[in-house]
Amino acid sequence: MDRLSLNNIQKLDALKSELEHERASSLYLKLRKLEKEDESYQPIRKHLRMLIFKFEEEQWSDDSQITDEQVKESDLAESFIQAENEFYQKRKELIRKKLKAAGLNQNDLAKILGHRKGYMSELINGLRPFSKEDIVVINRLLKIKLEDLIPTFIKQDKAIHIKNALNSLSNSKIKFTKRDLDFRLA
């Protein structure tokens, strides 16, 4: 379960990593627009702001304690979230383009998928993940390739686990290259 899903944010006491910090910061900015349309996002944004501030105070307030490894981890997390956001933006534009060509809009897609308008907005903007069934319907309905609908990122911790697991298997003919594990190539 994603700790930073919209349902879980207000249950969190702290962010645990640079990746969570970058994701929280990105989510905080994305929710700014939605908050103007729907006030129910205000408490979530307020809690995110507190989590971000607390993390930065604990991890980044003392310049003498900041390590090169910490900066490297922060840069990698920032790159990952940037790539993720670019994917979601591209997917959103592609879905909207295909809907327009079909004479439909986002509200029509919400009706087809059985979602309310606000929830559909969260899906389209990458704030919530589409269900597998939603992806299949969009793929078949709008003729969008699955690889353009599903993010294929491998998170850094998972990539390290995969690399270590493959290295421990003596009989494995499967080898991941550095390129296979690079999230920016998704």
Contact 149, 91 (CB under 8 A): yes
* Every domain of the chain and the residues it spans: 1-66, 86-151, 156-185
How much is the average pLDDT of 107-130?
94
Q: What is the pLDDT of residue 23?
A: 92
String of DSSP letters for 77-131? HHHHHHHHHHHHHHHHHHHHHHHHHTT--HHHHHHHHT--HHHHHHHHTTSSPPP
Q: Read off the pLDDT of residues 1-46 as tens digits, 9 standing for 90 and up.
A: 477 888 889 999 999 999 899 999 999 999 998 888 889 999 999 9
Q: What is the pLDDT of residue 88?
A: 95
> In the CATH hierarchy, which top-level class contains the domain 86-151?
mainly alpha
Cα four-point dihedral sign 8, 9, 11, 17: positive
